[in-house]
A and B are shown apart, each in its own frame.
Chain A
């Protein structure tokens, strides 16, 4: 429906009128840039840190009671996480106070800008904190099902840490990691709550911009907002299709290889 509204034409305007207009719109382009930047960085960081933590915890603890600590951020709504980020990283925040007490600062304004900054560092930090638990909870079952004897084989054959990881763990976690990356990337791309609190007026992230346009007086920009969302959806679906077929084929190949052996 968003699609049909965004195709609606007035008089002799071409079919893709709103899409062409979007493409020439600097506000949109900068929003797209910053959205992809935030989604990519925060998702990659969450995935890497989550992977590291899962590996470490999985090896250190036989029982998985510890995962309830990791569960904790999942209980906190996104915008509360944003507030916590603000509490910690704002110029008037806790870290700034600590750095002042150490004596490295003289005024609040000397503290680097982490929230409401054009690089969206605060937003990225919030997402990383919120999504690490999700990564852990998705990866942990895979690690628990993994046959660690392969690891011993690889070690006795003289593989170093990286080789062991590459040949034993990666084949197992690769498909699920891709899936997690995809889910989180798309989520961050389309979520409104955090950038609405910790973002800046320019550039806005796409969801915030879409919401603004959607409610602007007279609904003039509503088709534009909808066109933007359609583009975002299409991007997400195409990416999903690509990544899922790729990982599916890959999983299939790997499964058949294991049957042969």
Chain B
């Protein structure tokens, strides 16, 4: 392939990617700030923030927003606390029954979570975990943990044992090595895990509805009734809010990571 043709191909492919993956989201954003944009206009004619004002004027949305962020944040933290040792053990040690444990950990990906939630419903009622945030957090671990363990395990797989050993022979104990060598080298996997888990938790409607029983109000609980409402700018604004949350989470997480690296870097 000649260089010129390759450059041209690259541009085409990149534009194709943008067109497929990014352009629809931009359209949604335009919808949320437009005024009276309806069929058959192919582009907005007037702009207005009314949709956004309605979304932020609704007090239910504010409290649900807080609930959603709280639940997703705790779910992300719990995922790291549980998945990191599990992934480390699966990646580094060979033990009897490892294959079985790995398959068991895959099950929540393979069995529809709806089935598990319906099955657990009565048990959770008995345990008193329904209709409260704690139960919702617990049930959100089901669809997230398998992914977290998978992503972190492949991160550990890629990280050679020698990095830890290098830290150890330089005199750092295993805990220090973990925080000063492993965590920085694992940032891509850590970032992927955090965002993936956050988005999955944010996207749960049916699990929250069953276990939360309508008492625990998260954003999706309000979104579904909104969807049928006729006001397109409002529903578009609400949708953009959903798309913004993970992006804001990613930025926040990235800042935290950078600050952390800065702290451990000092010579």
Is residue A70 within 8 Å, beta carbon to beta carbon, of the partner chain? Answer: yes
A183 contacts across to B, CB distance below 8 A: 109-110
Annotate A71-104 by CB proximity to B: 1 below 8 A, 0 otherwise.
0111111111001100110011110111011000
* Contact status B118-A60, CB under 8 Å: no
Q: With A84-B239, A96-B40 in contact, is A240–B110 under 8 Å at CB? A: yes
B39 contacts across to A, CB distance below 8 A: 91-93, 96-97, 100, 108
* Contact status B17-A69, CB under 8 Å: yes
B20 contacts across to A, CB distance below 8 A: 129, 132
* Contact status A61-B10, CB under 8 Å: yes
CB within 8 Å of A: which B126-175 residues? 154
Chain A residue with Cβ nearest B151:
A137
B115 contacts across to A, CB distance below 8 A: 2, 190, 229-230, 232-233
Chain B residue with Cβ nearest A72:
B21
Q: Which residue from B6, B114, B235, B250 sits with its C-beta under 8 Å from A75?
A: B250
Give the distance in Å from the alpha carbon of A57 to the alpha carbon of B220 in the complex.
Answer: 35
Number of A-B contacts (CB under 8 A): 169
* Contact status A66-B199, CB under 8 Å: no
Is residue B203 within 8 Å, beta carbon to beta carbon, of the partner chain? Answer: yes
Give the distance in Å from the alpha carbon of A91 to the alpha carbon of B14 in the complex.
Answer: 30
Interface size class of A (residues with CB under 8 A): 35 or more
Is residue A236 within 8 Å, beta carbon to beta carbon, of the partner chain? Answer: yes
Q: Which residue from A53, A76, A210 sits with its C-beta under 8 Å from B242?
A: A76
Is residue A21 within 8 Å, beta carbon to beta carbon, of the partner chain? Answer: no
Q: With A57-B13, A74-B196, A75-B250 in contact, is A84–B112 under 8 Å at CB? A: no
Chain B contact residues: helix, strand, loop or mixed = helix
Chain A contact residues: helix, strand, loop or mixed = helix
Give the distance in Å from the alpha carbon of A229 to the alpha carbon of B239 in the complex.
Answer: 30
* Contact status B246-A2, CB under 8 Å: no
Chain A residue with Cβ nearest B202:
A77
Q: Which residue from A66, A97, A132, A182 sits with its C-beta under 8 Å from B110?
A: A182
Is residue B195 within 8 Å, beta carbon to beta carbon, of the partner chain? Answer: yes
B243 contacts across to A, CB distance below 8 A: 75-77, 80
Q: Which residue from A72, A78, A88 sits with its C-beta under 8 Å from B27?
A: A88
Give the distance in Å from the alpha carbon of A197 to the alpha carbon of B113 in the complex.
Answer: 19
Give the distance in Å from the alpha carbon of A83 to the alpha carbon of B235 in the complex.
Answer: 9
Is residue A37 within 8 Å, beta carbon to beta carbon, of the partner chain? Answer: no
Chain B residue with Cβ nearest A93:
B39
Is residue A3 within 8 Å, beta carbon to beta carbon, of the partner chain? Answer: yes
Give the distance in Å from the alpha carbon of A190 to the alpha carbon of B143 in the complex.
Answer: 12
Give the distance in Å from the alpha carbon of A225 to the alpha carbon of B115 in the complex.
Answer: 9
Q: With A57-B13, A196-B224 in contact, is A97–B41 under 8 Å at CB? A: yes
CB within 8 Å of A: which B158-212 residues? 195-196, 199, 202-203, 205-206, 210
Interface size class of B (residues with CB under 8 A): 35 or more
A41 contacts across to B, CB distance below 8 A: none
Is residue B85 within 8 Å, beta carbon to beta carbon, of the partner chain? Answer: no
* Contact status A73-B21, CB under 8 Å: yes
Chain A residue with Cβ nearest B246:
A75
Chain A residue with Cβ nearest B249:
A75
* Contact status A87-B10, CB under 8 Å: no
Q: In the complex, what's the smallest C-beta–C-beta distance from A132 to chain B, in angstroms? A: 8
Among A56, A133, A225, max chain B CB count under 10 A is at A56
Annotate B237-254 by CB proximity to A: 1 below 8 A, 0 otherwise.
001001100110010000
Q: In the complex, what's the smallest C-beta–C-beta distance from A207 to chain B, in angstroms? A: 5
A-contacting residues of B (Cβ < 8 Å)? 6, 9-10, 13-14, 17-18, 20-22, 24-25, 27-28, 31, 38-42, 103, 106-107, 109-116, 118-120, 122-123, 154, 195-196, 199, 202-203, 205-206, 210, 220, 223-224, 227, 235-236, 239, 242-243, 246-247, 250
The 9 A-B residue pairs with the shortest CB-CB distance, nearest first, are A190-B112, A2-B119, A229-B115, A77-B203, A192-B206, A100-B40, A1-B119, A75-B246, A92-B39
* 29 intermolecular pairs with C-beta atoms under 8 Å apart: A2-B115, A5-B122, A60-B6, A60-B13, A72-B21, A75-B250, A77-B199, A79-B203, A79-B224, A80-B239, A80-B242, A80-B243, A83-B227, A83-B239, A84-B239, A87-B28, A87-B236, A88-B24, A97-B40, A101-B40, A105-B40, A133-B21, A191-B112, A192-B206, A193-B203, A211-B206, A214-B210, A229-B119, A240-B110
Q: Contacts A72-B25, A88-B24 known; list 7 others, CB within 8 Å.
A: A5-B122, A76-B25, A77-B242, A92-B39, A93-B39, A190-B115, A196-B224
B-contacting residues of A (Cβ < 8 Å)? 1-3, 5, 53, 56-57, 60-61, 66, 69-70, 72-80, 83-84, 87-88, 91-94, 96-98, 100-101, 105, 108, 129, 132-133, 141, 182-183, 186-187, 189-193, 196-197, 207, 210-211, 214, 225-226, 229-230, 232-233, 236-237, 240, 244
